[in-house]
Structure 1
Amino acid sequence: MAHDIVFFLAPDDEAASSTRLLGPGAAFESVTCRFIEPDSAIAEWDMFFEEPSAEAPPLEQLLGWAWPEWVTAPLNDGVEVFALPERLTRALANASSADLEELAGRWTTRLRSEDGDDMTDDDLLAVLRGVARLAASAVNTGGGLYSWSF
């Protein structure tokens, strides 16, 4: 099931966990997109920077990748708050435009193969550019990059 997702910058896990009930809102700098799975997107991005390739890896390889950590315990209400791995935050912060374009192409291919016509209509390159901007802020301020989804 796909989610509405907000990637946001927070000073620490405690601040990120405070978003659990109402979302990040205006209190946190953020980028929003719709109809994607946050944990698989984070794993896909992490895998791209650790094992660069324009081709999307087989689904089995993606499923075997290290998935993001929960910031708050999962409940039955559908809300998920994840911390992006620090290495991914650094990689996004240092990514070139070409890296982000290649990742967006790979991510789009995977989503299209999995979701078909139900794929998000968000501009995935714009989403990645926004998340990379947040990542650069996180690296510069010592904060963290998180996702909140419902």
Structure 2
Amino acid sequence: MAHDIVFFRAPDDDSAAATRRRGPGQAFESVNCRFIEPDSAIAEWDMYFEEPSSGAPPIEQLLGWSWPEWVVPPLNDGVEVFALPPRLTLALASASPTELEELADRWTARLRSADGDDMTDDDLLAVLRGVSRLAKSAVSTGGGLYSWSF
């Protein structure tokens, strides 16, 4: 199932958890995208920075990767709030333009192989650039990166 997703910077887990009912809204700097699975995107990005390669590893390797943790336990309403791992926040904050382009290409290939024509029409490189900007802000001011999805 695909989601509408908002990546956002928050000062702490409690602030991120408070977004659960209505989303981050205008209270937090954010980047929006649609029709992706937030947890698999976060795992894909984390895997890339831990084991860089231009080609996407087999799906079995991704499924065996450490997945992000919920900030609040999931309910059956479809809302998910995840914390991005701190090491991923640091990696995104210091990522070069070339790394972001390579990751976007790899992520696009993974989504296209899984979703075909139902793949998001968002510019995934623009999404990664925006999330990288949020990561830089989180690293310089404190706090962390989160995703909210429905």
**Alignment TM class, shorter chain as reference:** over 0.9
CA distance in 2, matches of 1:140, 1:101: 23
Is there any run of 5+ residues in structure 1 with no aligned partner, and where? none
Structure 2 counterpart of 1:94: 94
Inter-partner Cα distance in structure 2 for 1:69 and 1:53: 25
SS in 1 for 2:134: helix
Deviations 1:77-105, CA, capped at 9 Å, x for gaps: 00000000000000000000000000000
> Counterpart in 2 of 1:108?
108
Amino acid at match of 1:11: P
TM-score by length of 1: 1.00
- Could you say which residue in structure 2 is the equivalent of 1:120? 120
Note if 1:15 corresponds to 2:15.
Answer: yes
* Aligned counterparts, 1:1-150, within 5 A: 1-150=1-150
Q: Percent identity?
A: 81
SS at match of 1:6: strand
- TM-score, with length taken from structure 2: 1.00
Q: Classify the secondary structure of the residue corresponding to 2:8.
A: strand
Q: Secondary structure at the match of 2:146?
A: strand
> What is the Cα deviation at residue 142 of structure 1?
1.0
CA offsets per residue over residues 18-50 of structure 1, 9 Å max, x none? Answer: 000000000000000000000000000000000
**Which one-letter code corresponds to 1:31 in the other structure?**
V
Regions of 4+ moved over 3 Å: none
Letter in 1 for 2:10: A
